Every structure is written in structure tokens, then in C-alpha cells.
A and B are shown apart, each in its own frame.
Chain A
Amino acid sequence: MDCITLNHLYKTYKKGLRHKIYAVKNLSFSVEQGEIFGFVGPNGAGKSTTIKILMGLIFADKGGAKLFGIPCTHSEARAKVGFVPEQPVLYEHLSGEEFLYFAGELYGLPKKENKKRVWELLERVGLKETGKRRLRYYSKGMLQRLVIAQALIADPALIIMDEPFSGLDPVGRMEIMNLIKSLKKQGKTVFFSSHILHDVETVCDRVALIIKGELKYLGRPDNIEETFRKELQKWARR
């Protein structure tokens, strides 16, 4: 079964009183189990909109979006999914440990297993020493790592990341790349959006390129930079 299925997906936003703009237009593709899938496009292409539809944060106007065959509007669809949003904003008065434990509770993990997972993940993302510290005292990099840890708390089969490389220095980007690779080795599926084509080319099995909400390319990431440039030129000429 496919992890993600998008079927003729449409999403519009109101512009003024009468006009509508398409954020996503007739988008269809699927993501198979075990692959690293890059979702690329320029700013405002509709990447985050699509991810928000998948995560049940917003709703599609038309068409279907499914996770493991379950429509995204159902909360059960997200049971095997970990999500890393673009902005690592968390409850600032909680400690790292408390926040991860809370995330585990939302996935319905049993108490004992949850506690064990919390400390395993804090160690894995290098926050064991600061686990008891309140999040308001964490740096941006530490918050980013904690957000990744919370996405992995229930050992999900699919991890969805929205612009995981944005705002990171080269070391941080390398760490995320290594994490994505290690997740693949564990048999996980990773779906992430990015506009940094070089990273996508290095790590992805397949990519989808969207421009202005429309799918322009779907396939292997070889020569994605060239494809991206051509598609952008075509779009600019219109």
C-alpha cells in the first residue's frame, strides 16, 4: 500500500472578494513505502499547503489526499505519521522531556514505553543533558532537533517534513541529511519539501516538482536542477 496518495487535489485561497487563486491544482501522485521522496518547488509553489492538507491542518476543496489509504480528514490517518513543521515553535514553559512525553501521549503510547522512548530520543538527538531544561531556554538548533525527536516518538512508518533544511547552517543540514538516510535504512518512508535542489538530488529516491500548484515533474532526481530551471523558464514565458 502507498504511504501517501494524492488524487486530483485542488486547494484555492480567496484573493479579495471575488477572486480565487489556486494554491494546489489537480495534483496527483503517490509515495511508496520505504522511499525518500522530495517535494520541490519555489516559494509559494504549494508545497506547504499540500503538507498541511496531508496533516489535517487545512482541507482540500476537491480531490483526495490519503495516508496509508485513510483520508487525511480522519485523525486515525495520522497514527503512523510523524510530522516536522517548518517553524520549531513549541510550548516554551515545558521541558524537553515533558514535551516529548506529551507527544507520546497524543499517539497513545503506554506510560512505560513512552518514558523509555523519550530518553532514547533525547539521547539520539543530543539533548539528553538538557532534557529537564525548559524549552524557552533552548536555541533554535536544539528546538529543531526536539521537533524531529517528537516526530519519531511513536516510531512512525512515515515522516513528513516541511522545509527541514531551512535556516540551518551546513552542519545542521548535514545532520538532517544523515538522519533522513538513517531513517531509510530502518525502512521508514520520508517525505519532505525543500527548495534546496542539491540536497534533494543527493538524498532522494524520487521527486515531485511543483510550480504554482501544478505538478511539473515526477521521477528520479537526476538533473533536477536542470529540469527545475527549464520549468521555471517555461512558466515565466507564459
Chain B
Amino acid sequence: MGKAISIAKVTFKEGIRERIFLGVLIFSGLLFLSSGLLADLSIGNILKVTQDIGLSGLSLLGLFIALFLSTHLIAKDLDKKTIYLVVSKPIARWQYILGKFLGLCFLTTFALVLGFIVFICALFYFWKTSHLIQVPHIAWFKHLLAFIFLNLKMCLLVAIGVFFSSFTSSALVAFFFSLLTYFIGANLQNVKMILASKIGENISPILKIVFDFTYWLFPNLSVLDLKQAAVHDLPLNSSHLGVSGLYCLTYIFALLFLASFIFDKREFN
């Protein structure tokens, strides 16, 4: 485990010193700070719109860092052959995979924590200086929960990125597959609801079987999305949260196991 931690530390350092990481952080910071201005232009409750934009921005920041860096940093190791100096040491291949995953998770968490602090500060400022006649209640704790689950979701995306990078040589291919998985995973629940409604009655059984297969194969990311619950202060079921968290961790474990298995057979020419 110690060697995996060493790889994680180096991955974190490499990632944080990448220019693209700084660029994404600056872009996100500007997005959060301007969320109040954007909300001013919209129709409806300014604070709710601010929360919506802020949490969506946070999600976008995490998505970009998790997917882009997870595929980019591993592909860079393979492409530039830096991996020779790591794999030729007395370490097992699974330690490399675990180390990369942990490092990228630290990196994503670090970026998200920074983004969350900026977002909460901006939200607090707009809340305190609000000119609304009836200042709405903000569910601060649910925002924290939404942030924790967003972080879990991003760790799952990192695992997806690591998984695709374990057998592809191109960062672009791994990024594309990971992004596709994200879009499928984020929309599974909506499609399921459509199929369960009256519209679903007219859909062919073969298509339903294909969907069932997809539903079980791809991660259902919407169970980790607590944005609406945080913004609209909707009730949350603790057992549901527990199961969702466990589902996410199990999925991560399965992906890392598969990635390690594939990587163990991979040759570095």
C-alpha cells in the first residue's frame, strides 16, 4: 500500500503542476463568482438560481478534472515511456493502478474543495446582501451532503477514466469512452422512468432488453446527484444515501479490479 501512496503523491504533484489544472480552477472560480450576476439576469428566485449555477459549475469542474486528467496523465506515462521507470521497480501493476487512482482522487477532491469554498462564500455573500422581501432558507447541510456525493461521483469517474486508460494507448480514446459512459450513466434513471411510463408501452421488447442490460452494466450516476435536494431543500432518505454510497464504492472497486487485471497483462513496447 505504501508504494501505491508514493505513486499517488507523485500523480497529485504532477497533476497540480499541469497548466490545464490551473486554467480549469481559474475558469471555475470566475464562474462561481459570477453566478450571482448570472442569477440577476434570470427570472425567478435569485438565490436558487445562484445555488443551481454554483452546484452545476462544481459538477462541471469535477467532471473536467476527473475525466481529462485521469485519461491524460496515464496516457502521458505510456506515451512518453515514463512508466518504464515505475513498472521496472519492485512494484506490482495493481499498485500502479491504485496509486494513479488515489492520486487523481486527491487531485479532484482538492479542486472540488477549493471550488466548494468559493461557491459557499459567494452564496453566503449573496444570501446576506439579498434584497428579497422574504429571504429563502438555504439548506447548508444538504449542500455539504451534495458536495460529498458529488465527490464520490467524481471518484467513480476517475475510476472509469483509469479503467479505459488501462487498455487504450490514446488519451483521446479513453477520454471519449469515459465521457460516453458519463452521459449514459447520468441519463439512465430518466430513460428508466420514461420506459416505465405510458410512452414505454409502445417500445419494442428487444429495446427494453438492451436497456435493461445497459442499466445493469453502466453506473447509475443520478443516484449520486443531490443537487435538486440541496437547492430545493427536499427530504433525503438516509438509508437510500447509504445504499447509493455503497453502490458507488462497489462500482469503483470492480473497475479498479478489472483495470488491474487488464494492466497486468499489458506489454509496454
Q: Which residues of A contact B (CB under 8 A)?
A: 52, 55-59, 75-79, 81, 83, 85, 87, 89-91, 93-94, 98, 102-103, 105-108, 147, 150
Q: Which residues of B contact A (CB under 8 A)?
A: 2-3, 6-7, 9-10, 13-14, 17-18, 80-82, 84-92, 267-269
Q: Identify 15 new A-B residue pairs, CB closer than 8 A, beyond the known A85-B88, A106-B6, A106-B89.
A: A52-B269, A55-B84, A57-B87, A57-B267, A58-B269, A59-B267, A75-B92, A76-B90, A78-B90, A83-B84, A83-B88, A91-B14, A93-B18, A103-B85, A106-B7
Q: Which 3 A/B pairs are nearest by Cβ-Cβ distance?
A: A105-B6, A93-B17, A106-B89
Contacts of A102 in B (CB 8 A): 6, 9-10
| A141 shortest CB reach to chain B, Å | 18
Query: Does A90 lie within 8 Å of B13, measured CB to CB?
Result: no
> Bound state CA distance, A76 and B18, in angstroms?
33
> Bound state CA distance, A108 and B269, in angstroms?
26
| A166 shortest CB reach to chain B, Å | 15
Contacts of B82 in A (CB 8 A): 89-91
Assuming the contacts A57-B87, A83-B88, A106-B89, asked whether A89 and B81 have C-beta atoms less than 8 A apart, the reply is yes
From B3, B81, B88, contact of A56 by CB (8 A): B88
| B133 shortest CB reach to chain A, Å | 52
> Bound state CA distance, A99 and B170, in angstroms?
25
Assuming the contacts A93-B17, A94-B14, asked whether A105 and B267 have C-beta atoms less than 8 A apart, the reply is no
Assuming the contacts A91-B14, A105-B3, asked whether A85 and B81 have C-beta atoms less than 8 A apart, the reply is yes
Contacts of A52 in B (CB 8 A): 268-269
> Bound state CA distance, A57 and B265, in angstroms?
10
Query: Does A78 lie within 8 Å of B10, measured CB to CB?
Result: no
Contacts of B14 in A (CB 8 A): 91, 93-94
- A134's nearest neighbour on chain B, judged by CB, is B17
Query: Does B267 lie within 8 Å of A58, measured CB to CB?
Result: yes
Query: Does A83 lie within 8 Å of B85, measured CB to CB?
Result: yes
Query: Does B3 lie within 8 Å of A55, measured CB to CB?
Result: no
From A55, A85, A94, contact of B10 by CB (8 A): A94
Query: Does B88 lie within 8 Å of A55, measured CB to CB?
Result: yes
Query: Does A78 lie within 8 Å of B85, measured CB to CB?
Result: no
| B153 shortest CB reach to chain A, Å | 27
